[in-house]
Chain A
């Protein structure tokens, strides 16, 4: 069967690229970890790939805001990204990758390339690593979610993950076009405050997608939950077969195989 080519975009400071590529390969993708300089120099072309993934990390050390410098480089060197998305090819930004997609104006998608959302420091004022309960938007057509249960668990690890919007009106718009892909919830599925919502994001937003559902940005890390042995309670959850994160990568690969 065809192995879709997956570009795992790397820059100085990216640090979740290995496990992300590994997850892609486990579900039948052919992942290549590519430094953005190779795209800048034209040696590697985005359009030759079926899927683009921006993994987590601290691109360029996040020195002037998380993902800011990478976002600039995406705007400058990945000019075909918009076209790539329009063609319906899957794009996934995880954590720092999500932050960069937002700052590059790719997500939220409705505004012609203008940045309309941003991130501020977690309400706790600290970097935090913890597992969270997430509710997927069952109405969204996000291709990564096919066959997933409505409630899932994934780990988050970030210091600057509080999503904020340029204007309050925007939230209604995001709801209307089903762009709110995931929300942080308590273990009984309700919208709740800290620590269920680990950063204080508006409307508990954990992930955003474009209305078409092929471009997804998320703060949680699906590549850290590919086998059941990565869950904090795996020693008592004998019924789980595999990590729910792996299914998200499989969905993207299967989508490309048609």
Chain B
């Protein structure tokens, strides 16, 4: 399924290309920010431990941040947001996906997205929204999520159970699992 969800941009940060012409109408972008592979991901190790406690063995887990931006913005705006705010040019890299469900990162077997349910206030999203406004970008709605890139030979059911018991709380979160091909 992930072959079809085109990744528009996949590059490490640095000099950015000139923004493409803005698409007409309100935009919807999913930004995923990950720690560059050369850095140890302590957060990932913590997540790996949580999964282990929930009965799932994995070789590695890396954690990314997801930002779902919706509103009157174009790709240029998104690049500004990423460069100036969402992605640290030294430690992180990013990719912009048209919608949720991007392929796992760097050859991981599973990618899990965890989001707060729409009924739960997303406080980090509120902070990001304000910070984007400070940068002079259009006012957009922001939801924040977390992605986990999990190297594990487990099956979908097993992963689903383990995630519900460790990384996500079904009372406030919804999550989705994406497998590599």
Direct contact of A and B (CB under 8 A): yes
- Residues on A with C-beta less than 8 A from B46 are 125-126
Give bound CA distance, A69 to B46, whole Å: 26
Give bound CA distance, A65 to B90, whole Å: 12
123-143 of chain B: CB within 8 A of chain A? 123-124, 127-128, 131, 134-135
Stretch at the interface among A113-121, A129-137, A176-184: A113-121
Assess whether A73 is interfacial by the CB under 8 Å rule. yes
Chain B 72-84 near chain A by CB (<8 Å), digits 1 or 0: 0000000000001
Q: B42: which of A65, A124, A166 is its contact (CB, 8 Å)?
A: A124
Assess whether A103 is interfacial by the CB under 8 Å rule. yes
- Residues on A with C-beta less than 8 A from B58 are none
54-80 of chain A: CB within 8 A of chain B? 60-61, 63-65, 68-69, 72-73, 76
Assess whether A187 is interfacial by the CB under 8 Å rule. no
In contact, A121 and B88 (Cβ under 8 angstroms):
no
Chain B 27-46 near chain A by CB (<8 Å), digits 1 or 0: 00000000100011111011
- Residues on B with C-beta less than 8 A from A76 are 134
Q: How many chain A residues touch the partner (CB < 8 A)?
A: 28
Q: Min CB distance, A63 to chain B, in Å?
A: 4
Instruction: Give chain B's interface residue range (CB within 8 Å of chain A).
Output: 20 to 34
Give bound CA distance, A117 to B89, whole Å: 9
Q: Do A120 and B39 form a contact, CB below 8 Å, given A72-B84, A125-B46, A164-B91? A: yes
In contact, B90 and A68 (Cβ under 8 angstroms):
no
In contact, B91 and A64 (Cβ under 8 angstroms):
no
Assess whether A123 is interfacial by the CB under 8 Å rule. yes
Assess whether B69 is interfacial by the CB under 8 Å rule. no
In contact, A125 and B43 (Cβ under 8 angstroms):
yes
- Residues on A with C-beta less than 8 A from B127 are 60-61, 63-64, 69
Chain A 88-119 near chain B by CB (<8 Å), digits 1 or 0: 00000000000000010000000000011111
Smallest CB gap from B40: residue in A = A123
Smallest CB gap from B124: residue in A = A63
Q: Min CB distance, B14 to chain A, in Å?
A: 11
In contact, B86 and A64 (Cβ under 8 angstroms):
yes
Q: Min CB distance, A216 to chain B, in Å?
A: 20
Chain B 129-160 near chain A by CB (<8 Å), digits 1 or 0: 00100110000000000000000000000000
In contact, B85 and A164 (Cβ under 8 angstroms):
no
Q: Do A116 and B131 form a contact, CB below 8 Å, given A72-B85, A123-B40, A123-B42? A: no
Give bound CA distance, A126 to B49, whole Å: 13
Q: Min CB distance, B11 to chain A, in Å?
A: 16
Assess whether A200 is interfacial by the CB under 8 Å rule. yes
- Residues on A with C-beta less than 8 A from B89 are 115, 118
In contact, B131 and A121 (Cβ under 8 angstroms):
no
Give bound CA distance, A162 to B90, whole Å: 13
Q: Min CB distance, A193 to chain B, in Å?
A: 13
Q: Do A72 and B90 form a contact, CB below 8 Å, given A64-B85, A122-B42, A124-B42? A: no
Chain A 25-65 near chain B by CB (<8 Å), digits 1 or 0: 00000000000000000000000000000000000110111
Q: A69: which of B35, B41, B85 is its contact (CB, 8 Å)?
A: B85
- Residues on A with C-beta less than 8 A from B42 are 120-125, 162, 200
- Residues on A with C-beta less than 8 A from B43 are 121, 125
B positions within 8 Å CB-CB of A: 35, 39-43, 45-46, 65, 84-86, 88-91, 123-124, 127-128, 131, 134-135
> What are 10 pairs between A and B in contact, CB < 8 Å?
A60-B131, A61-B123, A64-B86, A64-B128, A65-B88, A117-B90, A120-B35, A120-B42, A121-B42, A125-B43
